[in-house]
Amino acid sequence: MSPEGQKKPYRAKPLEEDGYAVRDAAPPPRPDPSECLLPARTQVVAADPLPPPPKIAFLSGVFTFPWYLQTLGVWGLISIGLTVSVLGIVLCIWLVDAGLTLAARCFAMPIAWIVLLSAGYTSGSLLAVVQGTSEGYDAIDDWPYGDWREWVWSLRYTALMLVPTLLVAAGVWCLTSFAGSWIPAFAAGFLVYPILLLSALETGSPLSPYSRPVLGSLRTLWWGWAIVYAESGLLLAAWAWYVIAEFPWAPFRTVAVAGPLLAAILLIYARLLGRLVWRAQPADARRKKGRRRARQ
Protein backbone atom coordinates (compact mmCIF):
# COMPACT_ATOMS: atom_id res chain seq x y z
CA MET A 1 0.00 0.00 0.00
CA SER A 2 1.24 3.34 -0.89
CA PRO A 3 2.13 5.79 1.78
CA GLU A 4 -0.64 7.97 0.53
CA GLY A 5 -3.19 5.22 1.11
CA GLN A 6 -2.21 4.50 4.71
CA LYS A 7 -4.68 5.62 7.38
CA LYS A 8 -3.30 8.45 9.34
CA PRO A 9 -3.48 8.12 13.12
CA TYR A 10 -6.07 10.24 14.87
CA ARG A 11 -4.71 13.25 16.66
CA ALA A 12 -6.80 15.42 18.84
CA LYS A 13 -6.76 19.01 18.02
CA PRO A 14 -5.13 21.17 20.55
CA LEU A 15 -7.43 23.29 22.66
CA GLU A 16 -7.60 26.77 21.44
CA GLU A 17 -7.12 29.62 23.77
CA ASP A 18 -10.76 30.67 23.64
CA GLY A 19 -12.18 27.42 22.31
CA TYR A 20 -13.10 24.48 24.45
CA ALA A 21 -11.00 25.45 27.43
CA VAL A 22 -13.44 26.68 30.11
CA ARG A 23 -11.87 29.10 32.49
CA ASP A 24 -13.64 31.09 35.20
CA ALA A 25 -17.05 29.97 34.05
CA ALA A 26 -20.02 31.86 35.47
CA PRO A 27 -22.47 29.89 37.70
CA PRO A 28 -25.61 28.63 36.03
CA PRO A 29 -28.57 30.96 36.35
CA ARG A 30 -31.05 30.25 39.12
CA PRO A 31 -34.46 29.04 38.07
CA ASP A 32 -37.30 31.47 38.20
CA PRO A 33 -39.48 30.75 41.22
CA SER A 34 -42.57 31.38 39.14
CA GLU A 35 -41.60 28.45 36.88
CA CYS A 36 -41.23 25.95 39.73
CA LEU A 37 -43.60 23.02 39.61
CA LEU A 38 -44.17 22.96 43.37
CA PRO A 39 -45.09 26.21 45.12
CA ALA A 40 -43.13 27.26 48.14
CA ARG A 41 -44.61 25.98 51.43
CA THR A 42 -45.67 28.50 54.00
CA GLN A 43 -45.82 27.73 57.71
CA VAL A 44 -49.35 27.78 59.02
CA VAL A 45 -49.92 27.98 62.75
CA ALA A 46 -53.40 26.96 63.74
CA ALA A 47 -54.73 27.33 67.27
CA ASP A 48 -58.12 26.91 68.82
CA PRO A 49 -59.54 30.30 69.72
CA LEU A 50 -60.63 30.96 73.24
CA PRO A 51 -64.34 30.40 73.82
CA PRO A 52 -66.47 33.32 74.96
CA PRO A 53 -66.38 33.95 78.71
CA PRO A 54 -69.03 32.16 80.77
CA LYS A 55 -72.20 34.06 81.49
CA ILE A 56 -72.05 33.13 85.18
CA ALA A 57 -68.50 32.35 86.26
CA PHE A 58 -69.33 29.96 89.10
CA LEU A 59 -72.36 28.31 87.51
CA SER A 60 -72.07 28.08 83.72
CA GLY A 61 -70.35 24.85 82.72
CA VAL A 62 -69.55 23.89 86.32
CA PHE A 63 -72.02 21.21 87.44
CA THR A 64 -72.23 19.74 83.94
CA PHE A 65 -68.45 19.66 83.47
CA PRO A 66 -67.91 15.99 84.54
CA TRP A 67 -70.27 14.93 81.72
CA TYR A 68 -68.60 16.88 78.94
CA LEU A 69 -67.61 14.67 76.02
CA GLN A 70 -63.93 15.46 76.70
CA THR A 71 -64.33 14.70 80.42
CA LEU A 72 -66.41 11.52 80.42
CA GLY A 73 -63.44 9.20 79.99
CA VAL A 74 -61.45 10.90 82.73
CA TRP A 75 -64.46 10.84 85.06
CA GLY A 76 -64.86 7.10 84.38
CA LEU A 77 -61.20 6.35 85.11
CA ILE A 78 -61.23 8.38 88.32
CA SER A 79 -64.47 6.66 89.38
CA ILE A 80 -63.00 3.21 88.79
CA GLY A 81 -59.79 4.09 90.59
CA LEU A 82 -61.53 5.54 93.65
CA THR A 83 -64.05 2.70 93.84
CA VAL A 84 -61.48 -0.07 93.53
CA SER A 85 -59.16 1.64 96.02
CA VAL A 86 -61.84 2.06 98.68
CA LEU A 87 -63.23 -1.43 98.09
CA GLY A 88 -59.73 -2.84 98.53
CA ILE A 89 -59.26 -0.98 101.80
CA VAL A 90 -62.66 -2.14 103.05
CA LEU A 91 -61.78 -5.69 102.04
CA CYS A 92 -58.53 -5.60 104.02
CA ILE A 93 -60.32 -4.23 107.10
CA TRP A 94 -63.00 -6.93 106.80
CA LEU A 95 -60.34 -9.66 106.52
CA VAL A 96 -58.58 -8.39 109.64
CA ASP A 97 -61.85 -8.30 111.58
CA ALA A 98 -62.61 -11.84 110.42
CA GLY A 99 -59.24 -13.06 111.72
CA LEU A 100 -57.75 -13.61 108.25
CA THR A 101 -54.67 -11.48 108.85
CA LEU A 102 -52.47 -13.45 106.44
CA ALA A 103 -54.93 -12.96 103.60
CA ALA A 104 -55.13 -9.24 104.40
CA ARG A 105 -51.34 -8.97 104.18
CA CYS A 106 -51.39 -10.67 100.76
CA PHE A 107 -53.87 -8.12 99.45
CA ALA A 108 -52.19 -5.13 101.11
CA MET A 109 -49.35 -4.60 98.62
CA PRO A 110 -51.40 -4.72 95.38
CA ILE A 111 -54.07 -2.53 96.94
CA ALA A 112 -51.41 -0.01 97.99
CA TRP A 113 -50.21 0.24 94.37
CA ILE A 114 -53.78 0.69 93.14
CA VAL A 115 -54.34 3.47 95.67
CA LEU A 116 -51.10 5.20 94.67
CA LEU A 117 -51.80 5.07 90.93
CA SER A 118 -55.41 6.12 91.40
CA ALA A 119 -54.46 9.05 93.61
CA GLY A 120 -51.75 10.15 91.17
CA TYR A 121 -54.05 10.08 88.14
CA THR A 122 -56.79 11.89 90.04
CA SER A 123 -54.33 14.55 91.19
CA GLY A 124 -52.95 15.13 87.68
CA SER A 125 -56.46 15.39 86.23
CA LEU A 126 -57.61 17.89 88.85
CA LEU A 127 -54.56 20.09 88.32
CA ALA A 128 -55.18 19.99 84.55
CA VAL A 129 -58.75 21.20 85.16
CA VAL A 130 -57.57 24.03 87.42
CA GLN A 131 -54.92 25.18 84.95
CA GLY A 132 -57.05 24.93 81.81
CA THR A 133 -60.06 26.60 83.39
CA SER A 134 -57.94 29.41 84.84
CA GLU A 135 -56.69 30.17 81.31
CA GLY A 136 -60.22 30.63 79.99
CA TYR A 137 -60.89 27.27 78.33
CA ASP A 138 -64.24 25.55 78.72
CA ALA A 139 -63.34 22.06 77.48
CA ILE A 140 -60.12 20.50 78.82
CA ASP A 141 -58.01 18.34 76.50
CA ASP A 142 -54.65 18.37 78.30
CA TRP A 143 -55.23 15.31 80.48
CA PRO A 144 -52.40 13.31 82.08
CA TYR A 145 -51.01 10.66 79.77
CA GLY A 146 -47.80 8.70 79.49
CA ASP A 147 -45.59 7.70 82.37
CA TRP A 148 -47.38 6.92 85.63
CA ARG A 149 -44.54 8.57 87.57
CA GLU A 150 -45.67 11.95 86.23
CA TRP A 151 -49.09 11.33 87.77
CA VAL A 152 -47.61 10.44 91.15
CA TRP A 153 -45.28 13.45 91.00
CA SER A 154 -48.31 15.75 90.85
CA LEU A 155 -49.20 14.62 94.37
CA ARG A 156 -46.54 16.99 95.68
CA TYR A 157 -49.15 19.72 95.34
CA THR A 158 -52.47 18.07 96.13
CA ALA A 159 -51.33 15.59 98.79
CA LEU A 160 -48.53 17.61 100.35
CA MET A 161 -50.88 20.51 101.03
CA LEU A 162 -52.85 18.17 103.28
CA VAL A 163 -50.02 18.27 105.83
CA PRO A 164 -50.40 21.96 106.82
CA THR A 165 -54.16 21.56 106.46
CA LEU A 166 -54.19 18.75 109.00
CA LEU A 167 -51.96 20.79 111.31
CA VAL A 168 -54.44 23.67 111.21
CA ALA A 169 -57.33 21.28 111.80
CA ALA A 170 -55.49 19.68 114.72
CA GLY A 171 -54.88 23.11 116.25
CA VAL A 172 -58.56 24.00 115.97
CA TRP A 173 -59.45 20.61 117.47
CA CYS A 174 -57.25 21.30 120.48
CA LEU A 175 -58.90 24.69 120.99
CA THR A 176 -62.45 23.39 120.59
CA SER A 177 -62.10 19.91 122.07
CA PHE A 178 -64.25 20.92 125.03
CA ALA A 179 -67.23 21.07 122.69
CA GLY A 180 -66.75 17.43 121.73
CA SER A 181 -67.42 18.08 118.04
CA TRP A 182 -65.16 17.56 115.04
CA ILE A 183 -67.10 20.02 112.86
CA PRO A 184 -64.97 23.13 113.70
CA ALA A 185 -61.74 21.26 112.91
CA PHE A 186 -63.13 19.93 109.62
CA ALA A 187 -64.43 23.40 108.68
CA ALA A 188 -61.01 24.93 109.36
CA GLY A 189 -59.30 22.40 107.11
CA PHE A 190 -61.97 22.86 104.44
CA LEU A 191 -61.37 26.62 104.42
CA VAL A 192 -57.56 26.49 104.48
CA TYR A 193 -56.84 23.77 101.91
CA PRO A 194 -57.80 25.66 98.69
CA ILE A 195 -55.86 28.71 99.83
CA LEU A 196 -52.72 26.62 100.36
CA LEU A 197 -53.18 24.69 97.11
CA LEU A 198 -53.66 27.77 94.91
CA SER A 199 -50.77 29.52 96.66
CA ALA A 200 -48.44 26.59 95.98
CA LEU A 201 -49.54 26.48 92.34
CA GLU A 202 -49.01 30.23 91.96
CA THR A 203 -45.50 30.15 93.44
CA GLY A 204 -44.62 26.95 91.60
CA SER A 205 -43.33 25.22 94.73
CA PRO A 206 -45.22 23.12 97.29
CA LEU A 207 -42.67 24.18 99.91
CA SER A 208 -43.79 27.82 99.78
CA PRO A 209 -47.60 27.90 100.00
CA TYR A 210 -47.67 31.65 100.49
CA SER A 211 -48.85 33.86 97.65
CA ARG A 212 -49.76 37.51 97.92
CA PRO A 213 -52.08 37.46 94.88
CA VAL A 214 -54.04 34.53 96.33
CA LEU A 215 -54.27 36.12 99.76
CA GLY A 216 -55.19 39.45 98.18
CA SER A 217 -58.07 37.80 96.32
CA LEU A 218 -59.59 36.91 99.69
CA ARG A 219 -60.25 40.62 100.10
CA THR A 220 -60.96 41.72 96.52
CA LEU A 221 -62.90 38.60 95.49
CA TRP A 222 -64.39 37.56 98.82
CA TRP A 223 -67.77 36.89 97.24
CA GLY A 224 -66.21 34.45 94.76
CA TRP A 225 -64.52 32.55 97.56
CA ALA A 226 -67.84 32.44 99.42
CA ILE A 227 -69.61 30.97 96.37
CA VAL A 228 -66.89 28.33 95.90
CA TYR A 229 -67.05 27.33 99.56
CA ALA A 230 -70.86 27.23 99.53
CA GLU A 231 -71.25 25.15 96.36
CA SER A 232 -68.47 22.67 97.09
CA GLY A 233 -69.50 22.44 100.74
CA LEU A 234 -73.09 21.56 99.86
CA LEU A 235 -71.96 18.87 97.43
CA LEU A 236 -69.54 17.37 99.93
CA ALA A 237 -72.12 17.48 102.73
CA ALA A 238 -74.68 15.66 100.59
CA TRP A 239 -72.12 13.02 99.66
CA ALA A 240 -71.06 12.53 103.29
CA TRP A 241 -74.69 12.26 104.40
CA TYR A 242 -75.30 9.49 101.88
CA VAL A 243 -72.19 7.56 102.90
CA ILE A 244 -72.87 7.83 106.63
CA ALA A 245 -76.51 6.81 106.21
CA GLU A 246 -75.97 3.86 103.86
CA PHE A 247 -72.55 2.45 104.72
CA PRO A 248 -73.57 0.51 107.89
CA TRP A 249 -76.29 -1.34 105.97
CA ALA A 250 -74.58 -2.03 102.63
CA PRO A 251 -70.88 -1.06 102.72
CA PHE A 252 -69.82 -2.47 99.35
CA ARG A 253 -72.85 -1.11 97.49
CA THR A 254 -72.37 2.28 99.14
CA VAL A 255 -68.74 2.41 98.06
CA ALA A 256 -69.66 1.40 94.50
CA VAL A 257 -72.11 4.32 94.29
CA ALA A 258 -70.08 6.85 96.30
CA GLY A 259 -66.94 6.41 94.15
CA PRO A 260 -68.41 7.88 90.92
CA LEU A 261 -70.19 10.58 92.92
CA LEU A 262 -66.96 11.61 94.62
CA ALA A 263 -65.15 11.67 91.25
CA ALA A 264 -67.76 14.08 89.88
CA ILE A 265 -67.54 16.26 93.01
CA LEU A 266 -63.75 16.48 92.73
CA LEU A 267 -63.95 17.53 89.08
CA ILE A 268 -66.54 20.18 89.94
CA TYR A 269 -64.37 21.38 92.83
CA ALA A 270 -61.35 21.74 90.54
CA ARG A 271 -63.55 23.56 88.03
CA LEU A 272 -64.64 26.04 90.71
CA LEU A 273 -61.04 26.69 91.76
CA GLY A 274 -60.08 27.29 88.13
CA ARG A 275 -62.94 29.73 87.67
CA LEU A 276 -61.90 31.49 90.87
CA VAL A 277 -58.36 31.99 89.55
CA TRP A 278 -59.74 33.09 86.17
CA ARG A 279 -62.07 35.61 87.77
CA ALA A 280 -59.35 37.00 90.04
CA GLN A 281 -57.18 37.97 87.04
CA PRO A 282 -57.70 41.31 85.29
CA ALA A 283 -59.47 41.17 81.94
CA ASP A 284 -56.40 42.21 79.93
CA ALA A 285 -54.25 39.63 81.71
CA ARG A 286 -56.77 36.91 80.85
CA ARG A 287 -56.68 37.86 77.17
CA LYS A 288 -52.89 37.95 77.03
CA LYS A 289 -52.65 34.60 78.80
CA GLY A 290 -55.10 33.03 76.39
CA ARG A 291 -53.26 34.34 73.33
CA ARG A 292 -49.95 33.13 74.71
CA ARG A 293 -51.33 29.64 75.23
CA ALA A 294 -52.84 29.63 71.73
CA ARG A 295 -49.46 30.39 70.17
CA GLN A 296 -47.82 27.48 72.00
User: Which pLDDT score is estimated for 40?
Assistant: 43
Domain ranges in the chain are: 65-295
Helix (H, G, I), strand (E, B) or coil at 132: helix
Cβ pair 85, 115 in contact under 8 A? yes
Block means of pLDDT (10 residues each) for the chain, 296 residues, are 50 47 51 45 50 84 93 94 88 80 81 90 94 91 81 89 92 83 89 94 88 92 95 95 90 88 96 94 56 48
pTM value is 0.77
User: Which pLDDT score is estimated for 206?
Assistant: 86
Contacts of residue 76, defined as CB under 8 A and 6 or more positions apart, other chains included, come to: none
User: Which pLDDT score is estimated for 181?
Assistant: 79
Distance CA(92)–CA(115), nearest Å, equals 13
For 82-94, letters b (16+ CB in 10 Å) and e give bbbbbbbbeebee
Contacts of residue 228, defined as CB under 8 A and 6 or more positions apart, other chains included, come to: 58, 194, 272, 273, 275, 276
User: Which pLDDT score is estimated for 27?
Assistant: 56
User: Which pLDDT score is estimated for 145?
Assistant: 82
**Amino acid identity at 168:** V
User: Which pLDDT score is estimated for 33?
Assistant: 45
Tell me the CA distances in angstroms from 19 to 10, 13, 27, 28, one per residue in order.
20, 11, 19, 19
Q: What is the mean pLDDT of the chain?
A: 81
